[in-house]
Structure 1
């Protein structure tokens, strides 16, 4: 019990705030004698006095009162009751907020270092691509881009017409391999990897009906490359396959280097095996780290294809080799096109590879060659604007942008099987994403514009439908384009909760994270894609709450050039 004061006339003693450390720790009164107080002298303690700084924020975050702020008195309680009367609420007037489901992929973390990097966009770009030199613009005239959205946007319904196509035969029987591990990897490649390389199960994957038969009948090196690819993909979920992946990949690379160093250059270039090995190694590096090494294979393939085309001759090994080479060339060219839409770098493959009249939907591309041709032209026009922002004011530039928009709106992507709804949806998804990309890269559209919001909602709806059908191929690029164009000031609801299942978020950002998690089993590098998306979100949010204008605003850069392009060097989205 507290002790009573004998002399009621004596004023209460105030708390000593300058006592020694031992007295304060023991909560006894210190007489502050120097060099040692009486309490420490009696107990034999070292008498030390120091000042300890206390911060109100630390106390508030811990839920504790700071200083005497939390001192309770009867008078203060009476005042609180008088000023804050109790309000009685009926049960009918109470509405409980539903607690959302939280998943492991739902967290976007930002540290103090991230905030410091967001002060300048150049710092982010240098971290995102420290090795590959991203195309930079020189000093430009301070001219703001006044390119407005062109009036050519019109609603359209996709028209799908049948066409005839060659249905490839089934691959031969699997060969006997030297170890059970290799046999398991080959089965994994055929059962797990090949089906996720095409959006529709109606069409056979070229990785199954072209590359696998060629590896079994003609090229042990290609077969070993397929095993390395399977081990690399499997190591994402099972680290026990990591060493096997590295060993097989090293053997394939050593074989390729040996041929290039010892054999005739033209003979090596004309052999389909060389191009196929480079394609598989390129896909291996994309799955593995998605750094500059996959671009090295891409540039090497360009030189190899150039030699083949200059020779104007194919080896006499049958029609299957021609189809195999054509697919390998298409693979590299498509990787180049889709990757450049994000970063705006110089092309590795020229736009003449694609025909603007190709309206047939390719089963592996998930769209038509005509759409890819339009993407090439959009990217090249965007590069012109990035080097000279003032060109957006020229009638020629505006006419070209409007012409590309008209071509996108009227594009017909025909599908061989009219009942193949999945391939039709995949082609329409890429066309919608291309329209969104055009408006942002050429017409100066921003995430807050209703046109952009509408396109983002449509893209996310199609992505959701394809994910429900188990499709993983071809979703990375459309999802990326929609994700980087989300308005940080609005929590976009792309669908009503009644239209989606319980485990699918109906708000844009949670859905993007959900979709990326679903794509973790694809043959793309989801880790890097998510990293860039998060950096774009953080940069947009930082600039919206900052009093300073974004980096590049005075130079006339549009929204895509300020926030997206500097972060996307060495990035594969195909």
Structure 2
């Protein structure tokens, strides 16, 4: 079949309205509204539409002429699933060299689309959902609009299974979802999360819903505070708003929600003999504490003064399926960060005394022995065999973090110590056989920070982070990758003492006013 040619004198037009451009149809260009927009009753707008670089990075699309264009395209057959994924900026599977974009500031030391009913029905045919109680679930879904039903279904089918290493122990599915049917602010927060994840894969049909339902959830929380009926659904809503901020771009509000949720848990009374209340408290406490502890491992930020304490019946050696490690390991990581923060404060004004150096060595040896002797075992109800290997990889990462955060006086800034080199090789061997999921973000981040001088290690870290973003375009992963790339550039340019000091995240996080979530 011959290719259809445009009539003579007719060139490709770039002056159509936004709606026609989005639908890739020819615009008749009547003013103020074209014929198609009048017929569909949609808003018709003309003019230039700006795309900011940060927005393009969040949506995983190319900016300007960054993309690769070719006349030869692979034909798309019926039934093929098209996946929109972020561009892998630095890593190539062919083994090509890694290119890190460097700017002058590195040397200076600065660093409305409509959705039709046919579209909704097509998405529902692609992703079917099986509910434990179909009658009740379907009756609730009939109360929602088409957008709300689709986004809630997307949360249940596509988001919840990726939030836990265990298909059985998944509070996002078995506790948050039922509460969302009885507490409207929590439902709005869940719908906002689903809309945000769709927007981040360049599905702009739900761009407005992402912000609309988030504002509704915040407004619902304000009304609940006014009424004085704060309970566990309220805390679960705060948790999901924190979840949304981490997914969207790790904006500074995620830490605000985290601190607020942790304070509420400490002040909310625990009902006696209430299994559901204890389960929700256990889930929310683990989420807030783990994100708080892991977030402070990204740099020399002040340690949170908000106290926490596990429940009396919590087993500190049991691996939590949400975080992929035990509570005992989190306690040791928190202690390392606290000692590191004290060390940074003292070194900022003076050198350590002989007594302080001895105390530092004793603390390092004590924490190292505790990490080596730490035993973590998976819950009995978890069928996933990888959960024990993930926990072991995170224990190795904690040892690497210990020697990097609390370096000995004999360590140099140009090359890692032999012990750290052994830990790096051991961690890479452990990560190579594990499925690439967001729960490995912290080990990959620490690995990139500890071994920036090795080209193969760089390639390994960036390739794994790119594969995580291909699966889910999470804001925390994007920000962590930016910090790792910054570490590599600083090493190449020898800007400051970047070899052994804990410098990653300090300048970037301080400049942007953000902390990256690594949990």
If the length of structure 2 is used for normalisation, what is the TM-score?
Answer: 0.68
Distance 1:394 1:170, change over 3 A: farther
2:370 to 378, 392, 407: 407
Corresponding pairs, count: 386
C-alpha distance in 2, partners of 1:253/1:315? Answer: 30
Structure 2 SS opposite 1:559: coil
* 1:528 correspondence with 2:494: no
Q: Which residues of structure 1 form unaligned runs of 5+?
A: 1-99, 118-122, 125-168, 492-506
Which residue number in structure 2 is paired with residue 512 of structure 1? 461
* 1:235 correspondence with 2:199: yes
C-alpha distance in 1, partners of 2:199/2:330? Answer: 32
C-alpha distance in 2, partners of 1:426/1:381? Answer: 26
2:271 to 314, 334, 347: 314
TM-superposed deviation, 1:101: 4.4
Structure 2 SS opposite 1:110: coil
C-alpha distance in 2, partners of 1:191/1:276? Answer: 19
* 1:338 correspondence with 2:294: yes
Asked if the contact 2:484/2:504 (under 8 Å) is kept, the reply is no
Which residue number in structure 1 is paired with residue 260 of structure 2? 300
Which residue number in structure 1 is paired with residue 394 of structure 2? 430
Distance 1:461 1:225, change over 3 A: same
* 1:324 correspondence with 2:289: no
C-alpha distance in 2, partners of 1:440/1:109? Answer: 26
Asked if the contact 1:299/1:348 (under 8 Å) is kept, the reply is no
Distance 1:104 1:524, change over 3 A: farther
TM-superposed deviation, 1:458: 2.5
Which residue number in structure 1 is paired with residue 158 of structure 2? 192
Asked if the contact 1:106/1:514 (under 8 Å) is kept, the reply is no
Structure 2 SS opposite 1:235: helix
Which residue number in structure 1 is paired with residue 172 of structure 2? 207
Which residue number in structure 2 is paired with residue 450 of structure 1? 418
Q: Deviations over 1:78-131 (max 9, x none)?
A: xxxxxxxxxxxxxxxxxxxxxx745999642112222222xxxxx44xxxxxxx
C-alpha distance in 1, partners of 2:185/2:458? Answer: 43
Q: How does 1:378-527 map to 2 (within 5 A)?
A: 378-389=336-347, 390=352, 393-417=356-380, 420-444=384-408, 448-467=416-435, 471-488=436-453, 490-491=454-455, 507-520=456-469, 521-522=471-472, 523=474, 525-527=476-478
Q: Deviations over 1:397-428 (max 9, x none)?
A: 21121111001001110123497420011100
Asked if the contact 1:351/1:376 (under 8 Å) is kept, the reply is no
If the length of structure 1 is used for normalisation, what is the TM-score?
Answer: 0.62
User: Alignment RMSD, CA only?
Assistant: 2.9
Which residue number in structure 2 is paired with residue 166 of structure 1? none
Asked if the contact 1:366/1:427 (under 8 Å) is kept, the reply is yes
* 1:541 correspondence with 2:501: no
Structure 2 SS opposite 1:404: helix
Asked if the contact 1:358/1:369 (under 8 Å) is kept, the reply is yes
C-alpha distance in 2, partners of 1:243/1:103? Answer: 41
